[in-house]
């Protein structure tokens, strides 16, 4: 049995959920959080159902309003889409479960609004990965971005400035995308991805211009070096829940769009042979990894350190995209799920620490590992994964990245991964040492976070390890089928 | 459930299971230590149960699941892996007893973390021993790096923390270098399974490429094996409590490095290829220089544990030298020294710890006359030192003899000279300690007596084992048979 309506179900549930949460918030504020969690849980369930369906029956198409493509907008759930949808909804659920106390503290009296906007944010993201229409994608991109700006602005006193900066940069990025799309529409007369892929003439000047513009636009959204400057401020000053929700998935979805458009619409040969777009992404990402990691070492604020490490880790995905070989792309996609889990885990730990101590300076974390053993056990697992040590997910994404690079003789990837891992190790081991060894008397009354906060953290910590040990299951279930046309993972 | 193929898995289970049990019983020290002892005993029993199969020439393999395309997480018990696992698991039993006496004697803090980390380390060590391919090996190798770290910084003093940083500064880049080498091997060979005699050949690349891969491998495993100039983390890591130094820095960690050298030379590259690309001479000279230089440096150390550390560096290079010489006898000697050095060096560390618990003395210059008050401890110390010097009748002689034969067999008499020189140097840094301990007096020691039985029994046991194996090296564990099996399978020729 196939349910062709499944793709539309996620956006609809989120939209209904958001409205319901907002309304419940007026009547019974305490219910808003439960309703938001339930909405996320049902979306995760739908994503699983969709994944099962796609696995057994292949891509599922849904024509919006009954207008068949290429005239109408269609939603397409293929393996790549459901892979990202699972990451988005899974992370959203885990963030939402323990969000209540932190949100009530950060946005007192307005938590229902916060949850409603979060759901709209998720609606935008899931729409992006599900749509088969390039203009529709732009609409969802703006929905997610606008709600992300709002979520960021809900943080500390400097969040407003950070959100405004994010808004400016994000809007420039979206405009670049829209301009590029305009060029493409003018030469092909279609907005449907599949249709456009068939009609494109890679040699045409407008097409080439569009490819560059779209890449720049998405590069801004994905925070590829040197377009990354908005990210550290936004992630640092947003409330801890907003950061835990945005950081793991927002940039990943931009990476999804990049993969989708570069490899599925333009085609591998155009972006890596006709035009040096892939190479440009690769070298900028290499710089991004090094700059992000170096900047992370210099930070004294835990959240800001993690934000810079996000710049670096997302750039790993960029390196995989830029290498444009099957294994490297598999590494990039594996890094999507592993980095989403570990970064979500780390930011949730920041939230838990803020909740229990009211502080997040690196110096105040001394000895906290003993006070919050479960939370920091997960933190350690995630940190080890960030460095890329086995048997975590972070190790295997690097493994595929390096193998993918070496397959085409790009031997420098080894040295690059080696150096980048050492930089990451520098700041994480420094942190772990102080977390576990130094004693601080101020911490005496600190207790482990409440169950609803600690449980998602522990689950994510375990997931980080399991995704590493069983990475070949992920590879077989998703990544092999998610490869763009022409790229095949052997073995 | 207990068939031949699941046995390597069961060998990992006791120490793995012990970790949560130890953590859960943190408030009841006696129960907690029971778990450690039970795990050590059962792990050793499981390993020993495989001896008959291994002696018959069976190679036991069990594949768990796929780690990456064409690469499985799989365990494999061959004579070399078995020998290493046997040493580690047997010595874990004595070290556990010793640890219990030691941490209670010195009232160490964080004892739960200590015993849990120990169990983690053993899991990783057994995993290294039984790894069937390079990726599985790397997985456990890095796990060992990580789980040793809490033990190195255990005292949480400034010295311990800086030793910890130094340890990571050496082992993490090494692990990444090993990662690079393995990636390169996977790309060129498409296969990572260990094969006795090696799976790489000249068709996998030019001599220069293969030399470079070999160099990366040797940096990767050589740091843990303390091959100069990659050794300097080891003396610093002696800031750890003595039982940690004993098991990890005489047995598990450093031997994992030496074991890695054996695996890479014998089971990845193989003698034939190493001769073709000429890499063996470089390795042999690095080992030869290390074993001479480290012995010279040992003489200058006044801190007993640091002297032992340098002695460890020297003796690890015996194994590395044996591996590099590629002849049947040198491989027999290398494998035997992996085992025999372990019993000797662990005895010495146990003695150093017993002296420290009783008197808080760490420097050799303060130990004059201690032998009169702690005769059993110092007698064991004397036995073990003589063993390392190469005195006949103690097991160290057997491995040195094989190594000497191996260097002649390989036509490299110069290394025989270095081995003899190293023996002399060993004598010159050990014998003065024994002499001063027994033939001088120090009134400050008047009230000193032997340490608690928890500390003395283990060192007596390991010293006795050393003597028994000195007289009958093949007794019990069939160490000589196993070493010869290893040498034959790797070099393709019979020794002796």
Q: How many whole angstroms separate alpha carbon B168 and alpha carbon B161?
A: 11
Q: Considering all CA atoms of chain B, what is the largest pairwise distance in Å, rounded to the nearest integer?
A: 70
Contacts of B179 in chain A (CB under 8 A): 398-399, 402, 417-418
What's CA A136's distance to the chain center, in Å?
A: 20
Say what percent of chain A tops pLDDT 70. 98
Q: How many whole angstroms separate alpha carbon A122 and alpha carbon A43?
A: 10
ω into B229 cis (within 30 of 0): yes
Looking at the complex, report in whole angstroms how far the Cα of residue B1 sits from the nearest Cα belonging to chain A: 23
Q: How many whole angstroms separate alpha carbon A420 and alpha carbon A399?
A: 14
Same domain, B418 and B313: yes
Q: Write out the residue range of the structural domain in which residue B455 sits.
A: 278-496
The pLDDT of residue B327 is above 80: yes
Same domain, B273 and B312: no
Q: What pLDDT band is residue B440 in, cutting at 50, 70 and 90? A: confident
**Mean pLDDT in residue range A181-190:** 93
Q: What residues does A361 pair with on adjacent strands?
A: A301
Contact residues of A toward B, CB < 8 A: 384, 387, 389-391, 396, 398-400, 402-403, 406-407, 411, 414-415, 417-418, 421-422, 425, 429, 433, 436-437, 469-472, 475, 489-491
pLDDT of residue B196: 87
Same domain, B255 and B286: no
Say what percent of chain B tops pLDDT 90. 27
The nearest alpha carbon in chain A to B162 belongs to A433
Among B256, B277, B298, the domain boundary falls at B277
pLDDT of residue B2: 56
Q: Please tell me if residue B66 touches chain A, with a CB cutoff of 8 Å.
A: yes
pTM of full prediction above 0.90: yes
Q: Please tell me if residue B254 touches chain A, with a CB cutoff of 8 Å.
A: no
- Residue A256, classed as helix, strand or coil, is helix
Q: How far is CA A175 from CA A141, A181, A184, A427, B105, in A?
A: 11, 10, 14, 36, 71
| Cα B76-B82-B87 angle, rounded to 5 deg | 140
Long-range contacts of A158-166 (CB under 8 A, 24+ apart): A158/A233, A158/A237, A159/A237, A159/A238, A159/A239, A161/A233, A161/A237, A162/A230, A162/A233, A162/A234, A162/A236, A162/A237, A162/A238, A163/A234, A163/A237, A163/A238, A165/A230, A165/A233, A165/A234, A166/A230, A166/A233, A166/A234
User: How many Cβ atoms are within 10 Å of A375's Cβ, its own excluded?
Assistant: 24
Burial track B235-262 (b if 16+ CB lie within 10 A, e otherwise):
bbbbbbbbbbbbbbbbbbbbbbbbbbbb
Taking CB atoms and an 8 Å limit, are A437 and B165 in contact across chains? no
pLDDT digits (tens, 9 = 90+) for B20-56: 888 888 888 888 888 888 888 999 898 988 888 888 8
pLDDT digits (tens, 9 = 90+) for A382-419: 999 999 888 898 999 999 999 999 888 888 888 899 89
Same domain, B374 and B247: no
Q: How many whole angstroms separate alpha carbon B82 and alpha carbon B23?
A: 29
pLDDT of residue A443: 58
What's CA B38's distance to the chain center, in Å?
A: 22
Domain ranges in chain A are: 6-482
pLDDT of residue A440: 60
Instruction: Find where tokens 């790489």 sit.
Output: B200
Nearest by CB: A437 against B138, B153, B179: B153
Tokens of B14: 């006791």
| Cα B184-B185-B191 angle, rounded to 5 deg | 135
Taking CB atoms and an 8 Å limit, are B67 and A475 in contact across chains? no
pLDDT digits (tens, 9 = 90+) for B213-235: 999 999 999 998 888 888 888 88
ω into A72 cis (within 30 of 0): no
pLDDT of residue B495: 58
pLDDT digits (tens, 9 = 90+) for B156-171: 888 888 888 999 999 9
Same domain, B309 and B383: yes
What's chain A's length in residues? Answer: 491
Q: What pLDDT band is residue A467 in, cutting at 50, 70 and 90? A: very high
Taking CB atoms and an 8 Å limit, are B65 and A470 in contact across chains? yes
Kind of pairing between the strands at A74-77 and B60-68: unpaired
pLDDT digits (tens, 9 = 90+) for B400-438: 989 898 888 888 888 889 888 988 999 999 998 888 888
Q: How far is CA A437 from CA A300, B13, B161, B238, B278, in A?
A: 18, 29, 9, 18, 47
Structural domains in chain B (count): 2
Same domain, B210 and B256: yes
Same domain, B403 and B438: yes
Structure ipTM? 0.90
pLDDT digits (tens, 9 = 90+) for B257-289: 999 999 999 999 988 898 888 888 888 899 999
Q: Considering all CA atoms of chain A, what is the largest pairwise distance in Å, rounded to the nearest integer?
A: 68
Q: Is the dihedral of CA B211, B216, B221, B223 positive or negative?
A: positive
Same domain, B213 and B285: no
Q: How many whole angstroms separate alpha carbon B492 and alpha carbon A449?
A: 61
Taking CB atoms and an 8 Å limit, are A390 and B139 in contact across chains? yes
**Mean pLDDT in residue range A157-163:** 91
Ranges A52-61, A81-90, A471-480, B27-36: which has the least confidence: B27-36
Q: Phi first, then psi: what are they for B402, rounded to 5°?
A: -65, -40
Taking CB atoms and an 8 Å limit, are A491 and B69 in contact across chains? yes
Same domain, B265 and B299: no
Taking CB atoms and an 8 Å limit, are A389 and B164 in contact across chains? no
Among B235, B261, B277, the domain boundary falls at B277
Taking CB atoms and an 8 Å limit, are A491 and B70 in contact across chains? yes
Q: What residues does B60 pair with on adjacent strands?
A: B77
Nearest by CB: B183 against A403, A429, A490: A403
């Amino acid at each position: 049995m196939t349910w062709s309506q499944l793709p539309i179900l996620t956006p609809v549930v989120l939209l209904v959920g958001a409205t319901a949460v907002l309304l419940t918030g007026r009547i019974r504020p305490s219910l808003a959080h439960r309703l938001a969690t339930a909405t996320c849980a049902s979306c995760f369930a739908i994503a699983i159902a969709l994944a099962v369906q796609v696995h057994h029956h292949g891509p599922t198409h849904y024509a919006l309003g009954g207008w068949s493509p290429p005239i109408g907008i269609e939603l397409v759930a293929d393996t790549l889409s459901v892979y990202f949808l699972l990451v988005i909804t899974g992370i959203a659920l885990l963030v939402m479960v323990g969000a209540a106390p932190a949100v009530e503290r950060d946005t007192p009296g307005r938590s229902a609004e916060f949850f409603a906007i979060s759901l709209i944010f998720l609606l935008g993201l899931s729409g992006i990965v599900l749509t088969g229409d390039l203009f529709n994608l732009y609409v969802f991109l703006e929905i997610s971005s606008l709600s992300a700006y709002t979520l960021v602005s809900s943080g500390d006193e400097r969040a407003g400035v950070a959100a405004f900066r994010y808004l400016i940069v994000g809007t420039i990025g979206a405009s670049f995308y829209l301009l590029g799309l305009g060029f493409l529409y003018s030469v092909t007369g279609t907005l449907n991805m599949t249709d456009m892929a068939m009609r494109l003439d890679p040699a045409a000047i407008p097409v080439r211009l569009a490819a560059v513009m779209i890449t720049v636009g998405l590069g801004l959204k994905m925070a590829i070096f040197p377009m990354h400057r908005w990210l550290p401020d936004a992630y640092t000053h947003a409330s801890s829940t907003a950061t835990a929700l945005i950081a793991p998935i927002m940039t990943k979805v931009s990476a999804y769009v990049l993969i989708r458009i570069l490899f599925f619409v333009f085609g591998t040969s155009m972006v890596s042979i006709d035009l040096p777009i892939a190479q440009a992404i690769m070298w900028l990402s290499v710089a991004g990894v090094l700059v992000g990691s170096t900047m992370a070492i210099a930070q004294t604020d835990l959240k800001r350190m993690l934000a810079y490490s996000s710049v670096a880790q997302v750039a790993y995905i960029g390196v995989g995209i830029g290498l444009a070989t099957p294994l490297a792309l598999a590494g990039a996609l594996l890094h999507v799920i592993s980095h989403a889990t570990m970064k979500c885990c780390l930011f949730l730990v920041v939230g838990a620490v803020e909740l229990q101590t009211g502080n997040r300076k690196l110096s105040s974390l001394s000895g906290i590992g003993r006070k919050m053993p479960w939370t920091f056990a997960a933190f350690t697992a995630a940190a080890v994964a960030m460095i890329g040590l086995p048997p975590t997910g972070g190790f295997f994404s690097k493994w595929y990245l390096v193998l993918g690079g070496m397959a085409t003789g790009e031997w420098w990837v080894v040295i690059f991964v080696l150096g980048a891992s050492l930089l990451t190790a520098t700041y994480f081991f420094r942190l772990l040492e102080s977390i576990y060894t130094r004693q601080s008397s101020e911490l005496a009354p600190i207790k482990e976070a409440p169950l609803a906060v600690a449980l998602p953290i522990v689950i994510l910590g375990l997931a980080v390890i399991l995704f590493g040990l069983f990475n070949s299951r992920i590879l077989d279930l998703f990544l092999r089928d998610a490869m763009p046309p022409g790229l095949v993972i052997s073995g | 459930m207990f068939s031949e193929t699941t046995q390597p898995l069961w060998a990992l289970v006791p120490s793995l299971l012990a970790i949560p049990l130890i953590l859960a019983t943190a408030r009841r020290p006696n129960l907690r230590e029971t778990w450690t002892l039970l795990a050590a005993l059962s792990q050793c029993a499981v390993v020993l149960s495989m001896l008959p199969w291994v002696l018959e020439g069976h190679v036991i393999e069990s594949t768990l699941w796929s780690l990456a395309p064409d690469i499985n997480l799989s365990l494999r018990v061959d004579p070399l892996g078995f020998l290493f696992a046997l040493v580690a698991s047997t010595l874990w039993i004595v070290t556990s007893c010793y640890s219990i006496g030691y941490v209670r004697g010195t009232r160490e803090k964080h004892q739960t973390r200590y015993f849990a980390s120990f169990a983690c380390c053993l899991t990783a060590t057994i995993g290294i021993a039984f790894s069937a391919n390079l990726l599985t090996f790397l997985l456990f190798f890095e796990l060992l790096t990580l789980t040793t770290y809490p033990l190195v910084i255990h005292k949480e003093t400034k010295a311990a923390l800086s030793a910890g940083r130094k340890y990571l500064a050496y082992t993490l880049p090494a692990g990444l270098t090993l990662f690079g080498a393995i990636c390169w091997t996977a790309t060129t060979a498409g296969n990572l399974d260990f094969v006795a005699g090696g799976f790489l050949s000249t068709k996998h690349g030019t001599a220069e490429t293969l030399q470079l891969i070999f160099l990366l491998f040797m940096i990767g495993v050589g740091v843990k094996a303390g091959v100069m100039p990659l050794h300097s983390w080891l003396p610093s890591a002696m800031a750890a409590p003595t039982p940690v130094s004993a098991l990890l820095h005489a047995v598990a960690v450093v031997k994992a490095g030496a074991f890695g050298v054996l695996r890479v030379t014998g089971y990845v590259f193989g003698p034939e290829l190493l001769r073709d690309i000429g890499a063996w001479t470089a390795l042999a000279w690095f080992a030869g220089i290390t074993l001479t230089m480290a012995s010279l440096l040992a003489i200058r150390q006044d801190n007993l544990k640091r002297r032992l550390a340098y002695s460890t560096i020297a003796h690890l290079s015996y194994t590395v030298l044996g591996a590099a010489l590629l002849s049947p006898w040198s491989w027999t000697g290398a494998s035997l020294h992996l085992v025999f050095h372990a019993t000797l060096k662990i005895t010495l560390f146990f003695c150093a710890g017993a002296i420290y618990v009783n008197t808080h003395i760490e420097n050799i210059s303060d130990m004059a006359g201690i032998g009169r008050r702690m005769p059993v401890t110092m007698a064991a110390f004397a036995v073990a030192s003589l063993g390392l010097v190469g005195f006949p009748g103690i097991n160290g002689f057997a491995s040195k003899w094989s190594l000497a034969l191996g260097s002649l067999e390989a036509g490299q008499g110069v290394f025989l000279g270095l081995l003899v020189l190293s023996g002399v140097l060993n004598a010159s840094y050990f014998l003065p300690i024994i002499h001063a301990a027994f033939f001088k007096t120090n009134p400050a020691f008047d009230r000193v007596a032997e340490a608690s039985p928890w500390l003395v029994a283990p060192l007596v046991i390991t010293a006795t084992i050393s003597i028994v194996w000195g007289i009958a090296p093949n007794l019990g564990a069939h160490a000589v048979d196993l070493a010869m099996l290893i040498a034959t399978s790797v070099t393709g020729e019979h020794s002796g």
